[in-house]
């Protein structure tokens, strides 16, 4: 069979990794696919690098538009990142009848609806396994492996850079800035690392998974984002003393009232598998009605793990190119006519339990006043511990609550902060028990 011709946009970390994987494992990939994958053309600004990375027969250009228009190219592999030129190139490629493989979660979370809609019109496939959790085949699992289920919730450690930083800070006491620099040197971080540490990257990924799980359009604007940059190492320490780990989680959950979609630091019991996912590793936990809880673990970033997912998509498309378009796996897992917008819950409407840290005067009656204000908002306390006196007369009080609606905890916090005996804003971190739900 004739080789499938691919055109690669960008020879950065993932682009060079993809060419490397296709060269190194060419024989094994052909044994599985039944034909060769030919890197026909690459677009790069660095011709010297291209010559070092690619086979001699691969064409090299610095004009990416010539790749997306080239009549010999079957599949365009977009590895530029970002949304400006990448969006233009992907739309142009689709208009030219090219199938797309992309690792670009930002592009799909923000412009996925436009891209999938055009792809459906033009009968081409858009595959994006590498866009979520790097090398872990979570898109395939959500789109195909869990087809028999109603998915109830997804919770994932889906930003390797943040997890790497949290792990190094906890295990080695390293400084935030040093670990971030290390993550950048290792090729884990986004071009703009604030995307990693402020939760945007995880937000892009959980937005994509939410759409796949619940059959909705992608809706990044509805995603609440809170990163790790304001985390205080004291809270990581106190959480640990109480049997919890702090992780940056992407969470989406279907409730009777609507869909929760959020990213924030989260306390999880240390006995949970997710709590023990360390370094750059990612893990995604899916709770579904028939299979129950499943967990997917692996490298969430880096050249070769990400390239592994990119190449899997190339192989998938190559197998399906000749399939009847009606029998292809839908982009967002559900038939396009069945993808429907659903109510997205605001953060005030979500349900969670909470870790609070309050700095207050160390004198009789303070704990009682705080407990009363929580009770007034119907917030039930699971544990309340005075962590000791930090300055002469100031005590730190750590409170764990039972599950409540976020609006209630916010009202209680506002009231607590108005007490004369309370100093400093109250620190609030959400908690997830990650118990498998029934049925």
Q: Which residues are annotated as a binding site for L-homoserine?
A: 190
Query: Binding to ligand HSE by residue 189, rule CB under 6 A?
Result: yes
Active site residue 247: no
Q: How far is the CB of 212 from ligand NDP (least distance, A)?
A: 17
State the minimum distance, in angstroms, from the CB of residue 437 to ligand HSE. 28
The single residue among 127, 159, 352, 353 that binds ligand HSE, judged by CB under 6 A, is 159
Q: Which of 98, 140, 152, 205 is catalytic?
A: 205
Inter-CA distances, 412 with 52, 253, 367, 385, 408, Å: 61, 25, 14, 18, 6
Partners of 249 in beta bridges: 264
b/e 31-65 (16+ beta carbons within 10 angstroms → b)? eebeebbbbbbbbbeeeebbeebbeeebbbbeebb
Compute the least distance from the CB of residue 363 to ligand NDP, in Å: 52
Residue list 101-140, contact with ligand HSE (CB under 6 A): 134
Residue numbers in the known binding site are 9-16, 105, 190
Among 15, 135, 156, 160, binds ligand HSE (CB under 6 A): 160
The single residue among 74, 78, 110, 190 that binds ligand HSE, judged by CB under 6 A, is 190
Q: Which does 161 bind (CB under 5 to 8 A by kind): ligand HSE, ligand NDP, none?
A: ligand HSE
The stretch among 107-115, 154-162, 337-345, 394-402 that binds ligand HSE (CB under 6 A) is 154-162
Place of tokens 């790497």: 164
CA distances from 78 to 183, 257, 260, 365 (A): 23, 37, 30, 62
Report d(CA 242, CA 312) in Å as an integer. 42
Backbone angles phi, psi at 287, to 5 degrees: -110, 120
- Contact between 274 and 434 (Cβ < 8 Å): yes
From CA 263, how far away is CA 198, in angstroms rounded?
9
Q: Which does 318 bind (CB under 5 to 8 A by kind): ligand NDP, ligand HSE, none?
A: none
Cβ-contact 157, 283 below 8 angstroms: yes
Longest Cα separation, the chain: 82
Please report how close the Cβ of residue 12 comes to ligand NDP at its closest, in angstroms: 2
Measured from the CB atom, the residue of 80 and 355 that comes closer to ligand NDP is 80
196 interacts with ligand HSE by CB under 6 A: yes
Nearer to ligand HSE, 74 or 110 (CB): 110
Per CB under 6 A, which region of 20-28, 110-118, 157-165, 358-366 contacts ligand HSE? 157-165
Q: Total binding residues for ligand HSE by CB under 6 A?
A: 11
* Residue 125 interacting partner from ligand NDP, ligand HSE, none (CB closer than 5 to 8 Å by kind): none
Torsion of CA 229, 232, 238, 239, to 10 degrees: -10
Which neighbouring-strand residues pair with 267? 246, 431
Residues contributing to the site for ligand NDP (CB under 6 A) = 10-15, 44-46, 79-81, 85, 103-105, 130, 134, 187-188, 190-191, 301-302, 306
Q: Which stretch binds ligand HSE (CB under 6 A): 29-37, 107-115, 149-157, 184-192?
A: 184-192
What separation in angstroms does the CA of 31 have from each of 23, 36, 39, 315? 14, 9, 17, 11
Supply the residues annotated as catalytic: 205
* Residues in contact with ligand HSE by the rule CB under 6 A: 134, 159-161, 188-190, 196, 201, 300-301
């Amino acid at each position: 069979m004739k080789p499938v011709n691919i055109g690669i946009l960008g020879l950065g970390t993932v682009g060079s990794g993809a060419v490397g994987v296709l060269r190194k494992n060419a024989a094994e990939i052909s044994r599985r696919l039944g034909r060769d994958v030919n890197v026909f053309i690459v677009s790069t600004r660095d011709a010297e690098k291209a010559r070092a990375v690619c086979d001699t027969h691969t064409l090299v250009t610095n004009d990416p538009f010539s790749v997306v228009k080239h009549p010999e190219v079957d599949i365009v592999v977009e590895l530029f990142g970002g949304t400006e030129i990448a969006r233009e190139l992907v739309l142009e490629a689709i208009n030219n009848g090219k199938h797309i493989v992309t690792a670009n979660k930002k592009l799909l979370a923000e412009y996925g609806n436009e891209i999938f809609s055009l792809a459906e019109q033009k009968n081409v496939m858009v595959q994006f396994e590498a866009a979520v959790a790097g090398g872990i085949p979570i898109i395939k699992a959500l789109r195909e492996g869990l087809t028999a289920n109603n998915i109830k919730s997804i919770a994932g450690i889906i930003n390797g850079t943040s997890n790497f930083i949290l792990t190094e800070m906890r295990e080695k006491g390293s400084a935030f800035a040093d670990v971030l620099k290390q993550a950048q040197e290792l090729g884990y971080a986004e071009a703009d690392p604030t995307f990693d540490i402020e939760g945007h990257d995880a937000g892009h990924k959980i937005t994509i998974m939410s759409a796949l799980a619940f059959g909705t359009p992608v809706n990044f604007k509805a995603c609440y984002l809170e990163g790790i940059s304001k985390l205080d190492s004291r809270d990581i320490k106190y959480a640990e003393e109480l049997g919890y780990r702090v992780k940056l989680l992407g969470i989406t959950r279907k409730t009777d009232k609507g869909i929760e979609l959020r990213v924030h630091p989260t306390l999880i019991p240390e006995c949970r598998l997710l709590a023990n996912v360390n370094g750059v590793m990612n893990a995604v936990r899916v709770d579904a009605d028939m299979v129950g809880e499943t967990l997917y673990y692996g490298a969430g970033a880096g050249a070769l793990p990400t390239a592994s997912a990119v190449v899997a998509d190339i192989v998938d498309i190559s197998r399906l190119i000749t399939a009847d378009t009606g029998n292809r796996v839908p982009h967002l897992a559900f038939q396009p006519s069945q993808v429907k917008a659903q109510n997205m819950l605001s953060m005030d409407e979500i349900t969670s339990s909470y870790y609070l840290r309050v700095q207050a005067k160390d004198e009789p009656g303070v704990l009682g006043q705080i407990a009363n204000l929580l009770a007034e908002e119907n917030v039930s306390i699971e544990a309340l511990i005075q962590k000791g006196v930090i300055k002469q007369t100031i005590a730190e009080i750590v409170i764990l609550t039972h599950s409540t609606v976020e609006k209630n905890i916010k009202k209680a916090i506002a009231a607590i902060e108005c007490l004369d005996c309370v100093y400093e804003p109250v620190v609030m971190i959400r908690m997830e028990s990650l118990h498998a739900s029934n049925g």
